[in-house]
Amino acid sequence: MAEKRIEIEAVQIDCASGEQFEDSFRAVNPDCVVPALELDNGTCISEVVAICHYLEDKYPEPALMGTTGEEKANILMWNSKIEQQGLSAVADAFRNSAKGLKGRALTGLIAYPQIPELAARGRGRLEEFYHRLDRQLAENSYVAANNYSMADISAMVAVDFSAWIKVPLPEELANVHRWYESVSSRPSAAA
């Protein structure tokens, strides 16, 4: 939304206190996860990629999901890789080790216990993800296209969250460091 300069009323949900499980939010999203985009007609769109597709269609400029079939496919492919290999690794590392998430290792209604081995595996997966991202950025300014895209946003979120859980980018990954310095200095990143 910040990159496209879209202003939508935001309602903050305090997940730390369990507000996502309250009846008022469950009426918006029965899966009890954020984000959720509630449209004027009452339709609720949850899941980040679905929300991004909706916003890209409604506000096509600047294009963050590609303009040609090849660009769109490449951005979606890389965004999926980032979610599967980067963001899920961070989630495993965090949700299976944070004291405040004891008994809440997965999002949603069902309480799942933490598995410490998944936290360790998540950290290892994250390091491999960083190396793969570095190889991709060796010959590319951006992750998936000639321009900044949704894949860059997702990858930046993965890097930011991994720093938050104290898994920094390995020093030797010059390409990721160059890319991260560029994308994190965009005005939308500060928003």
Q: Judge whether residue 190 has pLDDT over 90.
A: no
3 state SS of 136: helix
Give the burial class of 19: count Cβ atoms within 10 A of its Cβ; 0-12 exposed, 13-18 middle, 19 or more buried.
middle
Q: Compute the distance between CA of residue 143 and CA of residue 159 in angstroms, rounded to an integer.
A: 13
CB neighbour list of residue 134: distance below 8 Å, 6 or more residues apart: 173, 174, 175, 176
Task: Report pTM.
Answer: 0.92
At 100 the pLDDT is 84
Confidence band of 116 (pLDDT split at 50, 70, 90): very high
Q: Which two tokens stand for residue 123?
A: 């950290």
Task: Give per-residue pLDDT as tens, 56-102.
Answer: 999 999 999 999 999 999 999 999 999 999 999 999 999 999 888 88
Sorted by where each starts, the structural domains of the chain and their CATH numbers stand as 15-58 (3.40.30.10), 69-190 (1.20.1050.10)
Beta bridge partners of 41: none
Q: Which two tokens stand for residue 125?
A: 């997966």
Burial state string for 45-62 with b = 16 or more CB within 10 A and e = fewer than 16: bbebeeebeebbeeeeee
Q: Which amino acid is at 187?
A: P
